[in-house]
């Protein structure tokens, strides 16, 4: 009898336990249903916008790492990635290339704008069936300093004076003053082999500061003094040169010998601050004279115009940002790592965001001289006068991947014939 009672008691306890579990499970279901209903009601009020890329793998993830490099005798850390994992072109010969002279260095100057544009115009002459001739960068640099000082005096100090400038400054100076060959004017004093404009700029800006503080605005006298500074550091440029036994001026050399059609070169940018398919100002400090001759186009048009030009035999003069973890001189390449933004998400707005918060700045001007398709990527062969391009295997060159061009390059110059269809959109917009 006692055994049966114990068994009954045991079964009753088990039933109660199971009943309790069922009860709590019931309470859980009721609560979950309430939560789901509440969430559903909230989602009707706040709609989430999702970005769908594709069902396929986006691209290999890049991990941010720190590396060290010695800069001016000090070891410095910088953000980078493992470039050994990047599949890239293996040689210069893999690219479809167009005529250009071998890269030369600008050394310790901020004259990339002139080196890239002179290189571009040399390539243009060859493309048009004209002569192969190495032109002088420093002739134009000298005169650009003169015109910067002139505007500073005219604007009573309200004008930017520094090393930098833009592509279309070169064509503007050439129209006004002409050009000479590199052998006619090097900008190097006897015994010098490398350019260094540090002292030159300090003396010019110091003098202009004196003019501003003392309200000294006599233009011709001020320009004469600036020229004396330039002559001391660069040497005086020639007033005439000898060509085929004749003495001619630099302007005659441009117009009668080179016959470069400087009015045929057009500049582009891609910024939402100005209506697309209109011309306006590229608002960066190095556009010191506030040129409004930039054609503003959407990013797709901007990038496709570069690709179309290089595929059709034109080289392209470009400028933008080169102070990024994805650019590496030791490996000769530039790309956008996924820890910045995945390639397929690059669009007008993320580019705009970086321009307005100054993480994309107008750092450097370079020359696209070749092109290669490789898997899903397009690669561009870059001729570069900067020091970073000297660190790797291919001295004076970089391999830029398409995502870097799309996100970080901010302007370009090309012959108008390379962008005829794009320029028609500006006619229609009027």
pLDDT tens readout for residues 298-345: 999 999 999 999 999 999 999 999 999 999 999 999 999 999 999 999
pLDDT at residue 69, rounded to an integer: 83
Q: Is the pLDDT of residue 52 over 60?
A: no
Q: Does residue 166 carry a pLDDT above 90?
A: yes
The reply to whether 280 and 183 lie within a common domain is no
Six-digit token pair at 191? 């015994």
Q: Residue 196: what are its φ and ψ, rounded to 5°?
A: -150, 110
**Does residue 143 lie within any of the structural domains?**
yes
- Name which of 343, 132, 339 is nearest 351 in CA terms: 343
CA distances from 353 to 7, 156, 324 (A): 76, 34, 15
What pLDDT is recorded for position 48? 56
Q: Mean pLDDT, to the nearest integer, of 281-290? A: 97
Question: Beta strand pairing status for 327-328 and 377-383?
Answer: unpaired
Percent of the chain with pLDDT over 90: 81
In terms of Cβ atoms closer than 10 Å to its own Cβ (0-12, 13-18, 19+), residue 94 is middle
Range of the domain at 151: 110-260
211 and 292: one domain?
no
Please tell me whether residues 182 and 287 are part of one structural domain. no
Task: Please compute the mean of the pLDDT values over residues 387-410 and round it to a whole number.
Answer: 97
* Residue 68 half-sphere exposure toward CB, CA atoms < 13 A: 5
Which DSSP helix (H) or strand (E) runs through 374?
A: strand 364-374
Q: Average pLDDT of 132-139?
A: 98
Kindly indicate the confidence band of residue 35, based on its pLDDT and cuts at 50, 70 and 90.
Answer: very low
Q: Does residue 146 carry a pLDDT above 60?
A: yes
Q: At 279, phi and psi to the nearest 5?
A: -100, 145
Domain stops at, among 216, 242, 260: 260
278 and 174 in one domain?
no
- Continuous segment of H or E residues that includes residue 383: strand 377-383
- Which domain CATH number covers 134? 3.90.70.10
Is the pLDDT assigned to residue 34 strictly greater than 50? no
pLDDT at 61: 86
Which range has the worst mean pLDDT, 25-29, 69-73, 172-176, 332-336? 25-29
What digits encode the pLDDT tens for the residues 151-162?
999 999 999 999
Q: Is residue 181 part of a domain?
A: yes
Residue 268 and residue 411 in one domain: yes
DSSP E strand boundaries for 93-176: 96-97
* Residue 142 located in a structural domain: yes
Residues 181, 182, 187, 191, CA torsion sign: negative
- What secondary structure does DSSP assign to 282-317, as a single string? --STT-TT----EEE--HHHHHHHHHHHHHTT--EE
Is the per-residue pLDDT at 130 higher than 90? yes
Same structural domain, 193 and 244: yes
Q: Is the pLDDT of residue 131 over 90?
A: yes
Secondary element (H or E) of residue 143: helix 137-154
State how many domains the chain has.
2
Residue 391 lies in a domain: yes
Statement: residue 384 has pLDDT above 70? yes
Same domain, 137 and 268: no
Q: How far apart are CA 295 and CA 284, in angstroms?
A: 15
Query: Using 50, 70 and 90 to split pLDDT, how confident is the model at 55?
Result: low
Tokens (6 digits) for 325:
């973890």
Instruction: Please check whether residue 80 lies inside any domain of the structure.
Output: no
Using left for φ > 0, alpha for ψ between -120 and 50, and beta otherwise, residue 267 falls in: beta
The residues, any chain, with a CB within 8 Å of residue 309's CB and separated by 6 or more, are 315, 316, 414, 418, 419
- Domain boundary, last residue among 207, 226, 260: 260
User: What is the pLDDT, as a whole number, of residue 71?
Assistant: 77
**Residue 428 confidence class, pLDDT cut points 50, 70, 90:** confident
Q: Is the predicted pLDDT of residue 22 greater than 70, yes or no?
A: no
Exposed e or buried b per residue across 301-317, where buried means at least 16 C-beta atoms within 10 angstroms of its C-beta: bbbebbbbbbeeebbbb
On whether residue 146 sits in a domain, the answer given is yes
Q: What is the pLDDT of residue 50?
A: 54
- Any domain includes 245: yes
CB 114 within 8 A of CB 140: yes
What share of the chain has pLDDT > 70, as a percent?
86
Q: Indicate if 295 and 334 belong to the same structural domain.
A: yes
Can you tell me the distance from the alpha carbon of 229 to that of 235, in angstroms, rounded to the nearest whole number? 9
Give pTM, 2 decimals. 0.86
Note whether 144 and 155 are same-domain residues. yes
Any domain includes 5: no
Q: What is the spatial distance between Cα 78 and Cα 82, in angstroms, rounded to a whole number?
A: 13
| Final residue in a domain of this structure, among 227, 260, 293 | 260
d(CA 122, CA 104): 13
Cβ neighbours for 161, distance < 8 A, ≥ 6 positions apart: 148, 149, 152, 204, 205, 208, 288
Q: What is the DSSP letter of 196?
A: B
Q: Are residues 253 and 271 in the same domain?
A: no
Strand pairing report for 377-383 and 397-401: antiparallel
Same domain, 191 and 247: yes
Average pLDDT score over the chain: 90
- Asked if residue 220 and residue 120 are part of one domain, the reply reads yes
Can you give the pLDDT at residue 29?
A: 44
**Please, which pLDDT band fits residue 59 given cuts at 50, 70 and 90?**
confident
């Amino acid at each position: 009898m006692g055994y049966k009672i114990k068994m009954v008691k045991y079964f009753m306890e088990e039933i109660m336990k199971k009943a309790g579990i069922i009860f709590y499970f019931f309470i859980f279901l009721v609560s979950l249903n309430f939560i789901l209903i509440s969430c559903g009601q909230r989602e009707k009020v706040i709609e989430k916008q999702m970005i769908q890329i594709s069902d396929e793998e986006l691209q290999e993830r890049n991990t941010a790492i720190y590396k060290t490099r010695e800069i001016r005798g000090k070891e410095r850390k910088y953000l980078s990635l493992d470039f050994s994992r990047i599949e890239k072109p293996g040689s210069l010969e893999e690219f479809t290339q167009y005529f250009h002279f071998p890269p030369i260095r600008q050394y310790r100057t901020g004259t990339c704008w002139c080196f890239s544009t002179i290189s571009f115009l040399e390539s243009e002459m060859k493309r048009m069936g004209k002569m192969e001739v190495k032109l002088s960068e420093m002739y134009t640099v000298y005169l650009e300093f003169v015109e910067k000082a002139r505007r500073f005096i005219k604007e009573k100090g309200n004008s930017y004076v520094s090393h930098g400038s833009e592509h279309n400054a070169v064509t503007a100076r050439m129209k006004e003053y002409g050009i000479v060959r590199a052998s006619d004017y090097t900008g190097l004093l006897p015994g010098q082999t490398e350019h260094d404009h540090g002292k030159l700029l300090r003396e010019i800006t110091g003098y202009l500061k004196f003019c501003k503080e003392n309200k000294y605005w006599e233009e011709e006298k001020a320009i004469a003094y600036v020229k004396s500074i330039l002559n001391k550091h660069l040497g005086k440029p020639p007033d005439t040169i000898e060509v085929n036994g004749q003495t001619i001026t630099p302007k005659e050399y441009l117009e009668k010998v080179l016959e470069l059609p400087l009015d045929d070169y057009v500049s582009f940018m891609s910024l939402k601050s100005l209506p697309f398919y209109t011309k306006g100002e590229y608002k960066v400090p190095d556009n010191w004279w506030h040129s409004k001759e930039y054609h503003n186009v959407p990013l797709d048009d901007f990038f496709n115009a570069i690709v179309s030009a290089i595929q059709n035999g034109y080289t392209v003069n470009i400028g933008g940002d080169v102070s990024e973890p994805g650019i590496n001189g030791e490996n000769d390449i530039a790309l956008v790592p996924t820890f910045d933004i995945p390639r397929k998400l690059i669009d007008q707005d993320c580019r705009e965001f970086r321009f307005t918060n100054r993480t994309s700045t107008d750092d450097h001007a370079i020359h696209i001289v070749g092109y290669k398709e490789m898997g899903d990527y397009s690669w561009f062969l870059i001729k570069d006068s900067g020091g970073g391009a000297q660190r790797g295997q291919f001295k004076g060159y970089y391999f830029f991947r398409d995502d870097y061009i799309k996100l970080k390059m901010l302007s370009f110059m090309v012959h108008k014939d390379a962008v005829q269809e794009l320029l028609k959109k500006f006619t229609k917009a009027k």
